[in-house]
Chains A and B, each alone.
Chain A
Amino acid sequence: MASVSVPAERPGGLLRRPHATTGFWAWFTTVDHKKIGILYGITAFAFFLIGGTEALLIRVQLARPDQTFLDAAVYNELFTMHGITMVFLVVMPLSAAFFNYLLPLMIGARDVVFPRLNAFSYWAFLFAGLFIYSSWFLGGAPNGGWFGYAPNSVIDPTRGMTFYAIGLLIAGIASTVSAVNLAVTVLNMRAPGMTLFRMPVFVWMGLVVQLLLAFSLPVITIGLVELLFDRLFGTHFFDVSAGGSPVLWQHLFWLFGHPEVYILVLPAMGIVSEILPVFARKPLFGYQFVVFSGIAIGFIGFGVWAHHMFAVGLGPVANTAFAVSTMIIAIPTGVKIFNWLGTLWNGDIRFTTPMLFSIGFIAMFVIGGLSGVMHAVVPSDYQQTDTYFIVAHFHYVLFGGAIFGLFGGMYYWWPKVFGRMLSETAGKLNFWLMLIGFNMTFGPMHILGLQGMPRRIQSYPESLGLAFWNMVSTIGSFVIAISVLVFLVNAVASFRKPKQMEADPWDARTLEWATSSPPPEYNFEEIPVVHSRDDLWHRKYAETEGGRVVPVAAGGSGEGTYPDGAGHAAQDGAGHAGGHAIHMPSPSYFPVIAAAGLPVLGYGLLFGVPAVAVGLVITLAGFFGWALEPSAE
């Protein structure tokens, strides 16, 4: 250290790096993947409550025929914002929360490969969400549906769809940056011995999702830029009177939008693939098949987009091709489900809350998958498309699937993240209320759709005979709301318990449970050396020659323990005690500054050129400071 000759004060006071790693302001400068993961989680959950409230308002309006609780303009804004919120501001960032927190821990790394870029991703996402939501106060929220079909989305006279385009572009920057960061982390930062096929399935699904993001986001980016230019600068990408094509938007949107479905559900599949083996006390059945079917789903997911467009009039050739590709993608999905069943088979199943949500995930996702195959039957889909049958289908995939999985993940990793256990009693109440409420809300929508209720309608006349199931659905939505309240109470109450969690409360299988709960900033005092898949399990249990599993004696052989003390007391290596000699990246002001310029730039596009300049200056200043700040102090 003494040999460093560069004068430390050269960069000047402005570029000095912050020191604090605790306290309120440290959250703004942190580059710790765990803190960023928590920020993602809290923000996404806040948006979940907002998006859920929007859903409740929609359900109140639809509870009975011919209601006038909400007028058409507000109703259109609400269903648009509900969709945008749940897709871009809830499920994606909630998955990102898990990836951020867990991927480095699961692969035995100290942080992601680009910690400051990780912070930038979070702040850009947060500002994108706040930017979109500010539209409510600045002339009206987006009102053209989350799918924003042109030309309706272009000709709408309110500012809503401009907010939509700019907000999603900023969110897209956040997701792209994060995708690159996490993919490189998984590929380059694995601990010694952590080969690709020793990685937990959750890490595999994380990798697949990041690659899906990296390849699908550019497509929607092009679409959004064209939409923005049509709205602001008089271009005619989607204007038929000038030779543009409204169907072009649909192709761009769904070429992103269908991989997006897998971006939303693969993380939950990864979570479930971690939880089932722990509480069935068996390894995941058919690990390679689960991994490869995940990869196959990601790959085929780019070849099914036009099944959202069967009624557009693309012709029988296109409809045939996309019907077949859509049926094919059901095969790897089925493989996953059967392997989860195989994991449960002959297990020793413990009904903890994470396990209940995971079993619920399988049960509900099967329904969403089967109705999905029914959509692949094109002539049948001609009736089902754009009805509540579709609404039912994708809520079984994205709520019964993704949200159930994510709730299971929250209960499972809560003790790791916060060092406190969530109440199991409240957790079970949460699960059963959610399961019942969910099926009451979305089950009847299958019937409503087939009986002729189109999507995105503000009300329906009594004569259509749709009143009964709509009322059931509305009541169910409030049962879901109560279940979410139970979770909130449970979460808040957990912080009143003392913070004294053992490293491995579930007797789990993967590396994140080898370090303390919560983990130290540097994750592992010494980078673990990995010898097998489910490495932690194999250090705790050995198999006899007869195939019987027996616990390794406490303390175990030298090879069977980690140097940083999961389940054994001695802190070895005086030099590393407390992690003092471990170099961790310093916090930085600049990610949040660089991200803060983006919404300012966006407001400039809406309200006047000077703000564009201000936004650019802020973001560029952030990047310059970022590039020039000392690597550590």
Chain B
Amino acid sequence: MRRRTVVVLGLVALALVAAACAPNATQSALEPKGPEAQKSYDLFVPVFWVAVVIFFVVEGLLVLFVIRYRHRKNATRIPPQVHGNTRLEIAWTILPAVILAGVAVPTIATIWDLAAKPTGDILEVNVLGHQWWWEFDYPDQQILTANELHIPTGKPVYLTLCAVGFGYGAPVPSEGGPPAPSACQGPPDQPPPAAIGASVIHSFWVPELAGTQDVVPNQTNHLTIQADVPGVYEGQCKEFCGLSHTYMKFTVVAHTPDDFQRWVAEQQAPTPVPEPGSDAAAGLEVFLSRLPSGGGCTDCHAIAGIEGPNGQPILNNGGPNLTHLMSRQCFRGCTLATTDANLRRWMEDPSAIEAGSFMPDYGLSAEQLDQLVAFLNTLE
């Protein structure tokens, strides 16, 4: 009977492991796709098996004693009153200490390894956590994008992570107002970001490429990620950051180096001007206008090459920069596909989709919505 129990337990464990490794999980820490994630995984696996061995030893002893020393009917034996054994105590103090020391050495080595800034040919990207979306700023390439982090394969990408938004003591900055207190320090010629939403703690996690790094207001954190093969890797904000924390996802799109250069060139291409008289041109008008409520799209959204209502470049980044919006697969924390229907639904009433959304419902007419969608479609 005991043997059968062991067999059943073993099969259950195998089934669990098999299920755990099932290939349908798309955001799994068990399938590292780059050297940084591999380092975490290479520690996880041996420690896991050490834990499994200890598990079976301790639980095995427990089951063994419970069966072996169970009370039998009519037995009147009172067991010898053993009070302890100092040698055993010393043994089971020292043995775990030795095992733990064995675990500690590679642990500490990897902590320092992961904390080091990669050297050589690297790509640097600033990651800005907003409520509830991610902004990616490529200072050397002069690219601002959102919710999709594009990287080349085979190259360490050194991320600088900051939380963006207003501090709770300060009023929401108006257009052209003071810089948000906690933004990543960009290059001096970079416009100071305005802010919407609050500056709260987020956490950047793309498990197939690296472990977690929190994004903390007023603190500049770093994380290295790297993908070995092209692909789309899913990521998600891991630190509870308010009402719609659940929907603060993102993807990392890894290209071959050539494809990456092509992507950079596309993103740097000038924004096309909509054909006069077209729906798109009307949409641009709506985009630039003051809407009846007094606000407007340009309070938060910038597009490279398009001047704001005052004739100056739009500097705001309270919402995602919309330059080449349609080159992205997703928006709204990468939880909606960039289709016409979704864009329209979103602009019609953001709060109906996202609880606590910072994007207002401007009461746009059906015609205005159509025109805006037509305009956004030109941002390829």
Residue from B40, B54, B62, B243 whose CB has the most chain A CB atoms within 10 Å: B243
A610 CA / B100 CA spacing, docked (Å)? 58
3 A-B pairs closest in CB distance: A382-B211, A241-B167, A452-B27
Q: For residue B70, which residue of chain A has the nearest CB? A: A349
Q: Which of B251-272 contact A (CB under 8 A)?
A: none
Q: Is the CB of A155 within 8 A of B200?
A: yes
* A387: B residues at CB distance < 8 A: 29, 238
Residue from B168, B207, B234, B238 whose CB has the most chain A CB atoms within 10 Å: B168
Q: For residue B241, which residue of chain A has the nearest CB? A: A152
Query: Separation in Å of the B319 CB from the closest CB of chain A?
Result: 19
A335 CA / B97 CA spacing, docked (Å)? 11
Query: Separation in Å of the B329 CB from the closest CB of chain A?
Result: 13
Q: Is the CB of A373 within 8 A of B79?
A: no
Q: Which of B37-52 contact A (CB under 8 A)?
A: 37, 39-41, 43-44, 47-48, 51
A155 CA / B172 CA spacing, docked (Å)? 13
B147 is an interface residue with CB less than 8 A from chain A: no
A536 CA / B169 CA spacing, docked (Å)? 64
> What are 17 A-B interface contacts by the 8 Å CB criterion?
A72-B356, A76-B245, A145-B240, A152-B242, A246-B200, A285-B84, A313-B213, A331-B100, A335-B89, A341-B65, A348-B78, A366-B59, A374-B44, A374-B48, A383-B41, A451-B27, A464-B234
Residue from A155, A230, A287, A443 whose CB has the most chain B CB atoms within 10 Å: A155
The interface on chain B, measured as residues whose beta carbon lies within 8 A of the other chain's beta carbons, has a size of: 97
Q: For residue B37, which residue of chain A has the nearest CB? A: A383
* B89: A residues at CB distance < 8 A: 286, 289, 335, 339
A464 CA / B355 CA spacing, docked (Å)? 22
A367 CA / B54 CA spacing, docked (Å)? 10
* B41: A residues at CB distance < 8 A: 383
Q: Is the CB of B84 within 8 A of A282?
A: no
Q: For residue B116, which residue of chain A has the nearest CB? A: A316
Q: Is the CB of B242 within 8 A of A240?
A: no
Among the 9-residue stretches B102-110, B133-141, B306-314, the one with 4 or more Cβ atoms under 8 Å from chain A is B102-110
Q: Which of B153-204 contact A (CB under 8 A)?
A: 166-170, 181-182, 198-201, 203
Among the 9-residue stretches B16-24, B282-290, B342-350, the one with 4 or more Cβ atoms under 8 Å from chain A is B16-24
* B71: A residues at CB distance < 8 A: 348-351
A234 CA / B167 CA spacing, docked (Å)? 12
* Chain B positions near chain A (C-beta within 8 angstroms): 16, 19-20, 22, 24-30, 37, 39-41, 43-44, 47-48, 51, 54-55, 58-59, 61-62, 65-66, 69-71, 75, 77-85, 88-89, 92-93, 96-97, 100, 103-104, 107-108, 110-112, 114-115, 166-170, 181-182, 198-201, 203, 205, 207, 210-214, 216-219, 221-222, 234, 236-246, 335, 355-356
* A72: B residues at CB distance < 8 A: 243-244, 246, 355-356
Q: Is the CB of A342 within 8 A of B84?
A: yes
A151 CA / B166 CA spacing, docked (Å)? 11
**Given A72-B244, A73-B243, A242-B169, also A312-B88 (CB < 8 A):** no
Q: Is the CB of B80 within 8 A of A370?
A: no
Q: Is the CB of B211 within 8 A of A379?
A: yes
Q: Is the CB of B212 within 8 A of A383?
A: yes
Interface range on chain A (Cβ under 8 Å from partner): 35 or more
Q: Which of A364-383 contact B (CB under 8 A)?
A: 366-367, 370-371, 373-374, 376-383
Q: Is the CB of B25 within 8 A of A451?
A: yes
Q: For residue B48, which residue of chain A has the nearest CB? A: A374
Q: Is the CB of B214 within 8 A of A373?
A: no
A386 is an interface residue with CB less than 8 A from chain B: yes
- What 1/0 mask marks residues of chain A from 437 to 450 whose CB sits below 8 Å from any chain B CB? 00000010001001
A271 is an interface residue with CB less than 8 A from chain B: no
Q: Which of A353-403 contact B (CB under 8 A)?
A: 359, 362-363, 366-367, 370-371, 373-374, 376-387
Q: Is the CB of A151 within 8 A of B199?
A: yes
Among the 9-residue stretches A130-138, A166-174, A322-330, the one with 4 or more Cβ atoms under 8 Å from chain B is A322-330
A463 is an interface residue with CB less than 8 A from chain B: yes
* A373: B residues at CB distance < 8 A: 47, 51, 100, 103
Q: Is the CB of B66 within 8 A of A370?
A: no
Q: For residue B83, which residue of chain A has the nearest CB? A: A283
A378 CA / B181 CA spacing, docked (Å)? 30
A500 is an interface residue with CB less than 8 A from chain B: no
**Given A283-B83, A335-B93, A371-B51, also A466-B212 (CB < 8 A):** no
A341 CA / B85 CA spacing, docked (Å)? 13
**Given A151-B200, A451-B29, A549-B78, also A465-B51 (CB < 8 A):** no
Query: Separation in Å of the A290 CB from the closest CB of chain B?
Result: 9
Q: Is the CB of A359 within 8 A of B111?
A: no
* B48: A residues at CB distance < 8 A: 374
A281 is an interface residue with CB less than 8 A from chain B: yes
